[in-house]
Structure 1
Amino acid sequence: MAGQTPKPSSSTEGFFQSLPTIPPCYNFSASAQKNHDRSDDVVLGRILELYLPRNCGSVGRSIHNLARRALDPSTLQHSVDAEINQPFLRPLTTFGEENRNDPLWTSAGWKALKAIGQEEGLVSSAYETKNTSWNRRVHQFALNHVWSGSAAMTGCPASMTDGAAKLLAAHLGDPDGDQPGRREVMQEAYRRLISRDPKLAWTSGQWMTERTGGSDVRGTETVARRLTQDEMLQGASHDAHSMPLGPWRIDGFKWFSSATDSEMTVMLAQTSKGLSLFYAPMRRRVASASASETELNGIRIQRLKNKLGTRQLPTAELELKGVRGWLIGEEGRGVKEVATILNVTRLYTAAGSAAGWGRGLAICRAYTQARKVQGSLLEDNRQHVRWMAGETVKYWAAMHWTFFGIALQGSIEQDWDLMVRNTKAAPLIPQDKKQAATLLRLITPALKALVSVASVQGLRACMEGLGGVGYCENNEDGGILNVAKIFRDTLVNPIWEGTVSVMAEDVVRVITDRRLGDGRVLENVLGQWTRSVLQFCQRLLADECALVQKRLERFIQTTEKADKAELLWRGREIIGHVQAIVCSCLLMYDACVDGDVVALTVASRYVRSHAGYEMQSSSQWHSEALKDKRIFLGAGSVAIGKL
């Protein structure tokens, strides 16, 4: 009635926004031909249909089940607990002595999430060698993708555990040489790193960074020396698991060490023959004490880092005094050895970034379908949907690029005929392992750098898409809408394992390495691969193929004319070209496999956006708006007949 005073809202009355429902990102049905149409994260479903054969239902079910466990209220509560109850140090005992037993405290939620990851095979699935008919790495990283958004950064120790397992696997057959007992120690450590039993399983740290410089390990000031026979008889002789301690003593200071609560670590140290790599257990038995009493293995946690994000993860400065360890590989070859770990952890960095981005977009989709603005749902706001469709195109590109790197890694580790030939991706993955390894070596640094950066930018957009809700640290309702936390945690990825500049320099190192690709890696590896993919895509995306072909030729010509100094100067420009060429090829290939209208639209938009293309005609904007909705909100948002 006119003139009637409206009733004021209060803390208990008035408008309350309904809580958006975040669906599991992946749905699997053995009877469905296209599980991507049933999945909230459509591109993940398409990727799995691309790289996995149809006869591996157990893989699909495991990803399906973990996608639901990731959103279970108990899991979300563990994640909130790890975020709120952050690690802290208890450096002294009651009477002021150094606490060598248990100085580091982590929350129950953090420990529970680590255990779930071990049970679900987030590391072990890549090492279960009885599974030969599918790409184990694709399976493994798909599990990590659906889990990561709820994992509270436990994926960080998982990545280093995987890298350590990959490293030790290469040395399981090494003879003891002058380190009696080493082989048995390495085999036991490897067994624990790849275990699914949380009571048995280990995680591993990775200690490289020192105050002299992050990625520049040449200035390492940690020193290792062989103990004398007399010294070997003094003090502790066995680690906390009754394995003999190594014959090397390690002293120094590590400035940035993640996963400080792990059971073992791999670290770099200087010896008389140069930089070398060592294995060390975190704990040892206390000399002249009861058999059950243990202490840190010469490690003093000086302080925990106060970080912008990844606050659940105990990252510390460590003083090393008398750490007992074992030399891995040859003395003086530490950088070569640690590269094995870095190749794996850089894939994890990209994959973790994409997973966080995927959770952010899932939240945005759900919010868009629940939030009303000026009387209409946000999903009917064409500007908003167009913007989010553009973000989704970028996300699809990042996902395809990331999983291509993962698929290459798996193809190098397994038999191509057994697990690639019967997939839709067979023309994408080189049969020659040397060719596949060189292509992976070229793209991994660029992949790590640019997917990390794009994910940060994408998550910032997701925060904006939720308005003020996106900016708040929402730990209510299991923290399911806390995009801000994911954003903070993802910010580390363009830095960790090498900044963007360091990664660009690494790509230049590959381009100028005369041992790779007969001295012309861009022409003989990237060029050959790209032209093969373009030939496959020519029928459905001819104009887009021409744009990519033109970019490839100009990129190769310009690069081959430049000396190394100029290439370094152009480093970020170079990795941008690698990204545009590889992502364009992957999106087009995926779209052309089945002619899917949404995938074709995504591919075309991505290619044209990287060619400086702008839509000139305004007469088609209505149909483009419908395509926006299909890209962002999925097949069910618009009837196919309307496109």
Structure 2
Amino acid sequence: MDITHEVFNQPEPLVNYNLFEGNRALRDALKFNAPGLSTAGLLQLGARLGTADMQTHARLANVHAPELHTHDRFGRRIDQVEFHPSYHALMTEAVGAGLHGTPWANHQSPSPHVERAAGFMLFTELEPSSLCPISMTYAVTPALRGNAAIYADWAPKLTSRQYDQMLKVWRDKPGVTMGMGMTEKQGGSDVRANTTRAVPDGMDGWGQRFAVTGHKWFFSAPMCDAFLILAQAPAGLSCLFLPRVLPDGSLNVIRIQRLKDKLGNKANASAEVEFSAASAWLVGEEGRGVPQILAMGTMTRLDCALGTSGLMRQALSLALNHTAQRSAFGQPLIKQPLMRNVLADLAIESEAACALSIRLARCFDHPDDAHEQALSRLLTPVAKFWICKRGSAFAQEAMECLGGNGYVEEGGECIMARIYREMPVNSIWEGAGNIMALDLLRALRKQGAVAALAQELRAAKGAHPALDRMAAALPVRLEEMASELQARRLAQEVALALQAALLCQTAPRAVADAFCDSRLAGHWGQTFGTLASSTDFDRIIERAMPRKLS
């Protein structure tokens, strides 16, 4: 065979490296927020997730998307979704790492939510869409306490580190997962417009049972073992527990109409379903379904911020790996002045997202601390709004660092393209940008929220003049922009101030100064790669490198 050319100046793939070991931003965020935490488990997880085998599973699970089988070959209704074996391999790893339920189990960790958050971020770098049922199981478990009998039966299975993909009654499985269904065609985020009906259908060992008839427009992870849903009961919109397999072993009447054909999130199944007198049990107080299920929504919003932060980190790592090995115009891309500006700008954005996300996770480790709970109400919508909103622009810029190699997909091997398609889901899921901005306004009206914000900013007083100016002006800005028309601008300012304060306490001076100079002092353009010439580019880029290259 004739050889027309030699392949050279192409980078080696970023594989067989430790995701945690090379992530100094995450390691420093953990030291700040959970100083007593042992990171041995995260180090082991980071090593496993960086292997070629796990990357292959991530690729195959996305290339071979879930398939819906509504009937068997004899015409019987089965409503099952078939996944590629690699999806189940990913689920086995995530469940085995405890990312779905460790904080609710008997644990020795002094900071279980922070530890779990770090693991969730690391796994997102490998493959994010399989984490949908993991996130929902994490969020649903505490909500089940609204029904003591169901919680007693299901909680041990929900925190088990054994994954079982089979469709069986809960008592015959070593571990289970949960999903949820809230939105309907006519309502979307306005769940009070739901029309699905729940008719009382007797009492049993799990309490009040209902027969549910209606639909859900987005029914997430339909192959989970059970779901929390919203339906109109006689007393109003209520939260109900709906298992796929009933206690007697028969299938519940959950009809999967179709799977969503989504932009990204390909490995995960999202469905449209209908219920025909399906059996469900009341969780919490009848007619109080929205507050009951919102507590769960708060935790999934945390995961949206964590997930986007993880995707940012992986996109940055890929960009750094490529530019360090690819030469153009006589030297490696990473040495080119303008590319260095872009890479450093992406690096400080990624670290700021990580710092804010882990700080939010710390709030969940202190449910009895008034300051932490006030901060949680404030930080949750702010972190989800700002970090997730920045994700798509971040992924596009990181993709440009790879040029055409970042845009073209060959057999699903271009991880950057998968990241780019995944970014919007976290911004949309569990309340898009406007919903988060409005939630921030509601949080600011609650007692203690403004004081909690001021306390967080006060911890970094004197670290940077631009931060001091913003912290001093923010109370007035909170009054000026406390209207719906300015809610997004307010969310942006609160997010930037908090990110700056955190970086001033956790990151090297080069990173904190570059962030404050650009995002707060205005020495920045309208796109990445516009940092001031005085920026310490070498220090920032060296800190962000995912591994040392020989």
Same-fold call, TM > 0.5? yes
2:193 paired with 1:219: yes
Residue aligning to 2:499: 583
1:603 alignment counterpart:
512
Counterpart Cα distance in 2 of 1:623 and 1:613? 14
**SS state at 2:311 partner:** helix
Tell me the residue number matched to 1:370: 325
Structure 1 range deviating more: 607-616 or 398-407: 607-616
Aligned length: 533
Counterpart among 188, 197, 217 of residue 153 in structure 2: 188
User: Which letter maps to 1:158?
Assistant: I
Which stretch of structure 1 is more off in the superposition, 140-149 or 549-558? 549-558
* Aligned AA (1:226): P
Asked if the contact 1:258/1:316 (under 8 Å) is kept, the reply is yes
Question: Does structure 1 retain, via aligned residues, the 8 Å contact 2:466–2:521?
Answer: no
Which residue number in structure 2 is paired with residue 41 of structure 1? 23
Which of 84, 93, 108 is the matching residue for 1:116? 93
Q: Residue deviations 1:158-216, cap 9 Å, x none?
A: 11001111212x336x4xxxxxxxx1x33121111111122411111110010112111
SS of equivalent residue, structure 1 residue 261: coil
Change beyond 3 A, Cα 1:131–1:632: closer
2:177 matched to which residue of 1?
A: 203
Tell me the CA shift for residue 622 of structure 1: 7.5
Alpha-carbon distance in 1 for matches of 2:538, 2:87: 43
- How far 1:258 sits from its partner (Å)? 1.3
Partner of 1:487: 420
Higher radius of gyration, 1 or 2: 1
Gaps of 5+ in 2: 165-173, 526-531
Q: Is the 8 A contact 1:245 1:325 kept in 2?
A: no
Corresponding residue to 2:437 among 485, 492, 504: 504
1:357 pairs, out of 312, 318, 337, with 312
* 1:92–1:629 Cα change, 3 Å: closer
Give the letter for the 2:200 counterpart: R
CA distance in 1, matches of 2:112, 2:416: 30
2:13 paired residue among 16, 20, 31? 20
For 1:372 and 1:354, the matched residues in 2 are separated by: 29
Q: 1:553 to 1:319 in 2, by over 3 A?
A: closer
Range with bigger deviation, 249-258 or 45-54: 45-54
1:209·1:217 contact (CA, 8 Å) conserved in 2?
Answer: yes
The SS at the match of 2:185 is coil
Q: Partner letter of residue 241 of structure 2?
A: Y
Deviating more after overlay: 622-631 vs 460-469? 622-631
1:50 and 2:32 aligned: yes
Show the counterpart of 2:473: 551
Do the aligned partners of residues 14 and 359 (structure 1) sit closer, same or farther apart at CA in structure 2, a change above 3 Å counting?
closer
Which of 408, 413, 430 is the matching residue for 1:472?
Answer: 408
- Distance in 2 between residues matched to 1:244 and 1:442, nearest whole Å: 35
Does residue 542 of structure 2 align to residue 630 of structure 1?
A: yes
Task: Tell me which of 394, 401, 412 is aligned to 1:458.
Answer: 394
- 1:557 Cα offset (Å): 4.4
- The answer as to 2:122 corresponding to 1:146 is yes
- 1:570 matched to which residue of 2? 486
C-alpha distance 468-265 of structure 1, shift in aligned 2 (>3 A): same
TM-score (norm 2): 0.91
Q: Cα distance, 1:89 vs. partner?
A: 1.5
2:167 matched residue in structure 1: none
| Structure 2: distance between partners of 1:551 and 1:250 | 52
TM-aligned CA deviation for residue 51 of structure 1: 2.1
Which residue number corresponds to residue 214 of structure 2? 252
- Superposed displacement of residue 489, structure 1: 1.4
What aligned pairs does 1:403-482 form with structure 2 within 5 A after superposition? 403-412=358-367, 433-475=369-411, 479=413, 481-482=414-415
Tell me the CA shift for residue 353 of structure 1.
Answer: 0.8
Match of 2:77 among 81, 84, 99: 99
Whole-Å Cα distance in 2 between the matches of residues 131 and 625 of structure 1?
40
Partner Cα separation in structure 2 for residue 267 and residue 635 of structure 1: 44
Q: Which of residues 55, 68, 76 in structure 1 aligns to 2:55?
A: 76
TM-score (norm 1): 0.78
- Report the Cα distance in structure 2 between the residues aligned to 1:545 and 1:454, rounded to whole angstroms: 21
The answer on whether the counterparts of 1:254 and 1:317 sit within 8 Å (CA) in structure 2 is yes
1:594 match: none
Question: Is the 2:347–2:540 contact (alpha carbons within 8 Å) kept by the matching residues of 1?
Answer: no
Q: Does the 8 Å CA contact 2:17/2:51 hold for their aligned counterparts?
A: no
